Amino acid sequence: MTDDQSIRQAPGIYRRRVGDFVVTAINDGIVPVPAEVMVGMAPDEVKKTLEGRFRPGDPHITIGAYLIEKGGSRTLVDTGARNLMGPTLGKVVDNLAVVGVTPDQIDRIALTHIHADHAGGMLDDDGAAIFPRAEVFLSVDEEKHWLGGEPPTDEVGVSEQVNSYAPQLRKAYGDRWHAIGEEEIIPGMRREALPGHTPGHSGYHLSSGDEELLIWGDITHVPVVQIARPDVGLAFDVDVDLARKTRHRILDRISADRLAIGGMHLEFPGFGHVVRNGSGYEYVPDLWMPDI
């Protein structure tokens, strides 16, 4: 009998084709948060909702990144948290190694935003770039919010943490740092503005042949709650009302267009669709397939 302490899941990777792209979900880990961080739903109701969906207790937030490969080019969408948010996270580099990719083989990093669970994996303990060749892309509005003047603050401490490392990010990546609008990073991969969670929060839309995928960043953090109840936000949202409006807009669009999605906080393996369910929505995860 194997000792319980030694039992681990297989590496957190899952691949999906989008036309000529191969997109790999890279799991960074999972972290619990108190029910009180959810906005617009009482903590007891949050826990009751989770229990009804076989998720008893406080919410657990899955964190991930996406490796996008096409024609020998490698783009990493977000980088996980490394060691900035506790010991249950920081698995992106290890899981990249499982698919045979080392940090020096990443050509570019496309950031959805600069929160620690997305950009924390870019620097080592000495403040040096973990991805030594990567060009970095993020939105102009995201750069302006965090690096454009007086550092922002909030009541939950998220901004204070970002304020401490955002200048280090900018310095470490130097002339490989690019603030962009809604434009293509590589052919078939376009940044899309999804503001609210942060002012410059981004998604990345992939299109190849007849296939499409929207990597939607942090449209939801606890999808088993927020897809069914899109009015529910999170204390980590910079603008809760705008994030709510963006969430409604995107859920309406992807359900109507039957657009496949990936998201940094979708439960692993991190791909699926959203369908209308009465006046609300329902998440339909991808069927696990052995071949891509």
Q: What is the pTM of this model?
A: 0.96
* Residue 51 located in a structural domain: yes
What are the pLDDT digits (tens) for 132-170? 999 999 999 999 999 998 889 988 889 999 999 999 999
* Residue 87 located in a structural domain: yes
What are the pLDDT digits (tens) for 236-264? 999 999 999 999 999 999 999 999 999 99
* Residue 4 located in a structural domain: no
pLDDT of residue 7: 80
Q: Which residue has the tokens 């039957």?
A: 258
Q: Following DSSP, what letter does each residue of the chain receive, concatenated?
A: ---GGG--PPPSEEEEEETTEEEEEEEEEEEE--GGGEESS-HHHHHHHHHHTT--SS-EEEEEEEEEEETTEEEEE----TTTT-TT---HHHHHHHTT--GGG--EEE-S--SHHHHGGGB-TTS-BSSTT-EEEEEHHHHHHHHSSSPP--SSSHHHHHHHHHHHHHHHHGGGEEEE-S-EEETTEEEEE--SSSTT-EEEEEEETTEEEEE-TTS-SSHHHHTT-TT-EETT-SSHHHHHHHHHHHHHHHHHHT-EEE-TTSPTT-EEEEEEETTEEEEEEPPP-S--
* Residue 291 located in a structural domain: no
Residue 187 has pLDDT above 70, yes or no: yes
Number of domains in the chain: 1
164-193: burial string, b at 16+ Cβ within 10 Å, e else: ebbeebbebbeebbebbeeeebbebbebeb
Q: How many CB atoms within 10 Å of residue 155?
A: 7
- Give the residue-averaged pLDDT of 28-48: 97
Roughly how many angstroms between the first and final C-alpha of the chain, as a whole number?
34
pLDDT of residue 283: 97
pLDDT above 70: percentage of residues in the chain: 98
* Residue 290 located in a structural domain: no
pLDDT of residue 289: 87
Q: What is the CATH number of the domain that holds 97?
A: 3.60.15.10
Confidence of residue 1 (pLDDT cuts 50, 70, 90): very low
* Residue 274 located in a structural domain: yes
* Residue 95 located in a structural domain: yes
Full residue range of the structural domain in which residue 274 is found? 10-285
